[in-house]
Each structure stands twice: as structure tokens, then as C-alpha cells.
Amino acid sequence: MIIQQVGGTASSLQMMKWAFLLSCETPSRGGKTFYQFIPYRYGPYSFTLNQETDSLIRNGFLEKGLDNRWNLTPLGKNLEITLPNDVSKDVCQISEIYGKLSGQKLINLIYDKYSWFTINSDLPGRRKGKRPIAEKSIYTAGYEGKTVDEFLNLLMESGISRLIDVRYNPISRRYGFHKSTLLRLCNSLTIDYQHLPGLGIPGSEREHLDSNHQHTSLFENYRFSLPSREKDLTNVSKLLKSEPSVLVCMEANPEFCHRNVLAQHLTTLIDMPIKHLGC
């Protein structure tokens, strides 16, 4: 809708920055399911927005020119978009205030106001701070209910530099959390990605978990199995001790995730406290 408001064409950088400003500077913040952003090469960026833009191109609503501009096709120009009234009003406001600014002016404006989003900047001399470095602990985190941008931003804000994926089978219908995609996105943010499937629980053992008793039984069986996973435990211990690392699985609540059981067992092997991120 923003592209429609500004005349049907915009650079990818402009679109990204307009969306960011909509999320930060309007009452609606773009709506409950709007994009989240991470500090990237030229300030705030959303991998999810970029992926959905590619989908619009594939479906014929947008086309990307040689000058890296997004242009609405006739199909996109005639597309009727229905938004909640408050979101529609805020989109118009962002278009009116910032719609005529160049990409460089948008970068300057955002860098002046939002220093966190400068920490990964490629622009010489424009970083206003350094990424935090967490004290070493047994960190855990679940991505349930989060976009990949929100999740990776949480890790960076927490000072995490390594993601240890402890899912047995790291696939996901939610964009960004399939192993190959998560590895690629982590690499682009200088977050080391490690997958240790030997510390996961096969999906067949997770079927029909309808009660607390069934979860308790599953996790007790997992707890009893951990001493037999000596090689994987040695590997994860070395990773945790070498740099700030987080054990990652899907469930938001660690009490309903095997990563909590694993973290508790690891406290008997390494002298580190457990810290659950995003809870």
C-alpha cells in the first residue's frame, strides 16, 4: 500500500525504511502482525519483508528493475488492499512525511534517532555502538510466536554470538527457521550456527502430548537418556564455554521444551547458570 501511496515505484531501501518508520512512529505500529526489524548493513532490515516482497514479484504484483527499484505492475496498481482504519491512516501519514525522502536521507534520519540499528552498518564511521557481548551462561530460547527478525534481534540484544540448534529435525513452516535458511541468516549477522541433532527428541516421540503427565514422562525419559549422549554433551559443553551461546528449540515456554532438561543436565557438567531468553 505504501508503494501505491508514493506513486508506484520505490527503491528497496526506501521501502524497508518506510516500513520501519511505520512500525516505530505510528500508533498502530503497522498492526499486530507487522514486521520486526534487525540491525543490518544499512540500518533496520526485515528478512521477512524481503521474502514476502520476492513472493509479490513471483505472483506478478511487483517487478524489480535493474536499478534495484520495486515497481508496481498493472496488477499491483489495481490491487484493492483493505487495512484496518488505524493502519491505513498511519500508512498515509508515513507516506506524506517521508515519501519524498531519498534512501540516503532516510538512512541519515534513522541513524540519528535509532542508534541500535547502526551496530552492523557497512557505512564508514556510522556505527554508534558495538554489539553487546553476554557473560557466558547456559542460555536457552524458543522461537514460537516470533518472526525470525524478532528472534535474531533478541539474540543480538542479549549479546549472543552462537546459536546451537538442538532440534532433532530442524524444519519449520514458519519462514526463517528451517535449518538451511536459519544458517544463512545467522551467517549474514555474524552469528555462528551449530546443529546438534543428537541432543534432540524425534518427532515420533512427541506425538499426542495432550497432558502435563505426558510431557513429564517424555522429559523424564529424555533426562535418563542424556548420559548415553556423551559425545554430543562434550561438544555442546565446549561450544557453551567458548563464546556466548544459546540452546534453541521451538517452544516458547522452556518448561514445555527439552532444552530446559538439557540445560539442567549441563549444569552438572559445566559451572554456568541457566538463563532463558525472551520469557
Q: How do the domains of the chain map onto residue ranges?
A: 2-118, 138-276
- With beta carbons less than 8 A apart as the criterion, state whether 250 and 172 touch: yes
How many whole angstroms separate alpha carbon 132 and alpha carbon 47? 22
Q: What is the pLDDT of residue 218?
A: 87
Of 55-59, 71-75, 126-130, 245-249, highest mean pLDDT: 245-249
* DSSP characters over 204-221: GGSTT--SHHHHHHHHHH
Q: What is the pLDDT of residue 163?
A: 98
CA distance readout (Å), 273 to 25, 139, 265 = 38, 8, 11
- With beta carbons less than 8 A apart as the criterion, state whether 259 and 140 touch: yes
Q: Place 134 in a pLDDT band, splitting at 50, 70 and 90.
A: very high
Per the model's pLDDT, the better-predicted residue between 32 and 139 turns out to be 139
How many whole angstroms separate alpha carbon 240 and alpha carbon 166? 13
- With beta carbons less than 8 A apart as the criterion, state whether 157 and 143 touch: no
Per the model's pLDDT, the better-predicted residue between 212 and 9 turns out to be 9
| Cβ neighbours for 14, distance < 8 A, ≥ 6 positions apart | 101, 102, 103, 106
Phi, psi of 28 (to 5 degrees): -80, -20
CA-CA-CA-CA torsion sign (211, 214, 218, 223) = positive
How many whole angstroms separate alpha carbon 211 and alpha carbon 2? 46
| Cβ neighbours for 26, distance < 8 A, ≥ 6 positions apart | 90, 93, 94
Q: Place 39 in a pLDDT band, splitting at 50, 70 and 90.
A: very high
Q: What is the pLDDT of residue 210?
A: 63
Q: What is the pLDDT of residue 73?
A: 87
Phi, psi of 165 (to 5 degrees): -80, 115
Q: What is the pLDDT of residue 69?
A: 84
pLDDT, tens only, 188-247:
999 999 999 999 998 777 766 666 677 788 889 999 999 999 999 999 999 999 999 999
H or E stretch including 44? strand 43-45
Give me the chain's average pLDDT, please: 92
Residues β-bridged to residue 141: 248
- With beta carbons less than 8 A apart as the criterion, state whether 15 and 104 touch: no
**Architecture of the domain delimited by 138-276:** 3-Layer(aba) Sandwich (3.40)
Whether 62 has a pLDDT exceeding 90, the answer reads no
Phi, psi of 44 (to 5 degrees): -65, 140
- With beta carbons less than 8 A apart as the criterion, state whether 138 and 48 touch: no
Whether 133 has a pLDDT exceeding 90, the answer reads yes
Per the model's pLDDT, the better-predicted residue between 26 and 56 turns out to be 26
Whether 1 has a pLDDT exceeding 80, the answer reads no
Q: What is the pLDDT of residue 270?
A: 97
How many whole angstroms separate alpha carbon 83 and alpha carbon 209? 38
**Helical spans, DSSP H, in the chain:** 2-5, 12-25, 47-58, 74-77, 85-98, 103-113, 148-157, 179-188, 212-225, 230-242, 258-266
